[in-house]
Amino acid sequence: MANEVIREEDDGAEDAQVSGQIHLNADFRVLWLSRTVGQIGHQTAAFGSLIVVTEATGSGLWASLLVLAWVLPNAIFSVVSGSVVDALSKQLVLTVANGVRAGACFVFVLSTQDTEQVFVLVVVLAAVGPFVGLAESALVPTLVRRESLTSANAFLNFMRYVAQVAGLAVLAPVLTQTAGAELLFVVTGVLFGVAAIYAALIPMGALHLIPRGEEPLFPDDAARPRRGGIGSARAYLRAHRDVWQAAVENSLISATLPLLAALIPVYLVEVLDQRVSDLPVIFVPGIVGMLAGLRLVSGLARRWDPAWLATVGMGLFAAGLLALAAIDAVDAGFSAIFGFRDMDLGVMEISAASLAAMVLLFPMGFAFALVNVATTAIINERVPVSMQGRVFALMMLMTGIAALPPLLAGGGLTEVVDVRVVLGLSPLLLVVAWGWAQWGGTPPGGTHPGDPGPGSGWRGVFVGRWRRGGSGGRA
């Protein structure tokens, strides 16, 4: 029987968590600083490499291949990274992985820096990524109290979106347009190096772990895994329906991002009549929506079941994708109602269709944050610390598996059909996959005591189990 553990904080850290100022927890602060600086480096490398390859080749297919180079190694190495993170010191894994990312960037700077070398660098960064992400996620429940997990995850996601703005909207476009790939990856390497230093400062000796509960990992012996590694994570998800649904929803909405990353450059040019470098400006409302979602999700989670919030977020996000695919009709409606017209900002022009898309991106960003934070909080709260690395690794693998088919098909289809057709198929696939997980693919296992069980998620709306404290709701 396994005991779950949490960190025993000092009085100052406890006061910070109780007051809601989770970022003032000294040990947690070192973690979020490491994660934020590393995320800035990652976003700079990801969008910068996309700009470099797209401008060098002018092909949507090459953009899709680059995104595939990010997704495929990430999925492959997620199989082993979870076991590594659970077996070794999470702080050590995080430090070494960030150091490897920094070294890879500096090696690229010393290379020929052609398109092929960009792909090699991307593959290396993508392969190391699972070790970084899983170590960060698994450290959270050891540094904050159980009741602060939603706030901690909301804050981490807030800082991730700050990092996206810094890397995607500022560093990547500015450096690629003014200094080229060399300085871009010098800066990225420095950022990864700083992240490694912060990771090394996480005080391993301060993580005093104390038992928390006697709940078994598996409700019955039949559900107990016959092997370790990622197979044990799969067995755990099959034994706990609530965690399974959270993992599926998190994986599905995350799987849409690689496809969007491949489609958006083509969508900007062919549909919105914008340049690829205009992406940061066009996506500002989406970032604002994410920040609004992060600001509100903790309060919403206290009133409603996080499982229900995640399901609502999934539906809102899918509707937004469908509206982007039908942007001509949306643009016509907005132009008739609000008088949208092309705008000249001096440094760039924004088409009326782009304005309509920007309006849609706000609720999509809000929905994405809602799903991401709610599902992550469910997993952090209900999965034992000793199992979290493998569970997050399995989710990363699920994300990669879900992303690969549409990514491979979508990149090729944009060469022969309108990108709006491909974009319109994505919410349909999302809804079908989510429906299968809710009804057809739900494991036969049980739930945690007090969890909504079969009435969770969207089904809970119809049986009155979606409100906290209600019949069948979470206590």
CATH code 2.60.120.280 for 1-212: no
**E strand or H helix that includes residue 4:** strand 4-7
CATH placement of domain 217-475: 1.20.1250
Residue type, 346: G
Q: Give start-end residues of each CATH 1.20.1250.20 domain in the chain.
A: 1-212
| Alpha carbon distance 303, 314 (integer Å) | 19
Q: Which residue has the higher pLDDT, 342 or 270?
A: 270
What pTM was estimated for this model as a whole?
Answer: 0.68
Highest mean pLDDT: which range of 148-157, 178-187, 426-435: 178-187
**E strand or H helix that includes residue 202:** none
Q: What is the pLDDT of residues 405-462, one digit of tens each?
A: 777 776 667 777 888 888 888 888 888 887 777 665 555 555 444 444 444 444 443 3
Residue-by-residue DSSP string for 65-77: HHHHHHHHHHHHH
Spatial CA neighbour of 316 closest among 380, 265, 249, 383: 249
Burial 341-366 (b: 16+ CB within 10 A, else e): eeeeeeeeebbbbbbbbbbbbbbbbb
Spatial CA neighbour of 120 closest among 130, 133, 111, 129: 111
Query: Which residues, listed in sequence order, are joined to residue 7 by a DSSP beta bridge?
Result: 209
Helix, strand, coil abundance in the chain, percent, nearest 5: 75, 5, 20
In this prediction, residue 36 carries a pLDDT of: 95
Highest mean pLDDT: which range of 32-41, 367-376, 430-439: 32-41
CB 390 within 8 A of CB 78: no
Spatial CA neighbour of 357 closest among 370, 369, 340, 339: 340
